[in-house]
Amino acid sequence: MSKRDLKKYLGELTKEQLEEQIIELYEKFSPVKVYYDFVFNPKEDKLLQECKTKISQEYFPVRKPGTKSRSKAKMRRSVAQKYIKHFILLGVDPFVIADVMLYNIEIAQTFSSGNYIKQELFYKSIFNSFEQAVNFIISNGILSEFKSRIVSIKEETTQQKWKNKHDFEVVLEKIDF
């Protein structure tokens, strides 16, 4: 069904029929429920804290009750990517999304500063996140608000002697601060 056909169909329904269909969608499909729950009660601060907690637990897992040692860090970039995609779909404020994007990189750098990481894929993945974050921030016109964090991330790659630190520098050279 095309968008035009859908508009025509919806135009033929009464207000009560429309309400009934929306309520049915709300009850039947979880993404619709999540969307309306967010639209009518956008607790962005709560979502942001939950997101940051999950991301940090990827690198610094919390000790499980009854055990003496922590579980191993999983370092999955996909956890942050799922939140970022979800936030974009919900229409969360771009400042919040940019904050999550940069936080993901910063927590990974915090982890790598105290742990030797031999997987090259980790560094490439963090660079991809950095490039994506910078592009998102520029496209939303909020570069000046995040400039210092972006520069700090680049400087941290130099300080930690990442092999791909030059890639980070190249991204910053393209930006007109």
Find the range with the poorest average confidence among 2-11, 28-37, 121-130. Answer: 28-37
What does the mean pLDDT of the chain come to?
90
> What does the domain layout of the chain look like in residue ranges?
1-41, 43-174
The reported pLDDT for the residue numbered 38 is 79
Instruction: Please report, as a single letter, which amino acid is at residue 117.
Output: I
Name the pTM for this structure.
0.79
User: What are 120's two structure tokens?
Assistant: 């090259």
The reported pLDDT for the residue numbered 142 is 96
pLDDT at 66 exceeding the cut of 80: no
pLDDT at 41 exceeding the cut of 80: no
Mean per-residue pLDDT for 90-109? Answer: 95
The reported pLDDT for the residue numbered 39 is 80
End-to-end CA distance of the chain: 46
Using 50, 70 and 90 to split pLDDT, how confident is the model at 71?
A: confident
CA distance 110 to 158: 14
User: What are 95's two structure tokens?
Assistant: 């400042």
Tens of pLDDT, residue by residue over 119-162, are: 999 999 999 999 999 999 999 999 999 999 999 999 999 999 99
Using 50, 70 and 90 to split pLDDT, how confident is the model at 68?
A: low
Q: 154, 175 in Cβ contact below 8 A?
A: no
Q: 76, 58 in Cβ contact below 8 A?
A: yes
In three-state secondary structure terms, 115 is: coil
Virtual torsion, Cα 159, 162, 166, 168, nearest 10 deg:
-80
CA angle 174, 55, 82 (to 5 degrees): 75
User: What are 115's two structure tokens?
Assistant: 């742990």
